[in-house]
Amino acid sequence: MENMLLWLIFFTPGWALIDGSEMEQDFMWHLRKVPRIVSERTFHLTSPTFEADAKMMVNTVCGIECQKELPTPSLSELEDYLSYETVFENGTRTLTRVKVQDLVLEPTQNITTKGVSVRRKRQVYGTDSRFSILDKKFLTNFPFSTAVKLSTGCSGILISPQHVLTAAHCVHDGKDYVKGSKKLRVGLLKMRNKSGGKKRRGSKRSRREASGGDQREGTREHLQERAKGGRRRKQSGRGQRVAEGRPSFQWTRVKNTHIPKGWARGGMGDAALDYDYALLELKRAHKKKYMELGISPTIKKMPGGMIHFSGFDNDRADQLVYRFCSVSDESNDLLYQYCDAESGSTGSGVYLRLKDPDKKNWKRKIIAVYSGHQWVDVHGVQKDYNVAVRITPLKYAQICLWIHGNDANCAYG
Domain extent listing, the chain: 20-194+245-404
**Does 277 score more than 90 pLDDT?**
yes
Q: Coil, strand, or helix at residue 80?
A: helix
145 within 8 A of 190, measured Cβ to Cβ: no
Fold of 20-194+245-404: Thrombin, subunit H (2.40.10)
Q: 75-82 and 393-404 are packed helices; what angle lies between their axes, rounded to 10 degrees?
A: 40
Residue 396: left (phi > 0), alpha (psi -120 to 50), or beta?
alpha
Q: Percentage of residues in the chain with pLDDT exceeding 90?
A: 36
| Among the ranges given (64-73, 118-127, 272-281, 306-315), the one the predictor scored with the smallest mean pLDDT | 118-127
Residue 116 has a pLDDT of 34
Q: In 212-360, where do the E strands start and end?
A: 247-260, 278-282, 292-293, 306-311, 320-330, 334-337, 349-355
82 within 8 A of 37, measured Cβ to Cβ: yes
| pTM listed for this prediction | 0.79
Q: Give the model confidence (pLDDT) of 174-186 as tens digits.
A: 889 998 898 999 9
CB neighbours of 77 closer than 8 A, spacing ≥ 6?
A: none
126 within 8 A of 320, measured Cβ to Cβ: no
At residue 407 the predicted structure's pLDDT band, cuts being 50, 70 and 90, is confident
**Does 133 score more than 80 pLDDT?**
no
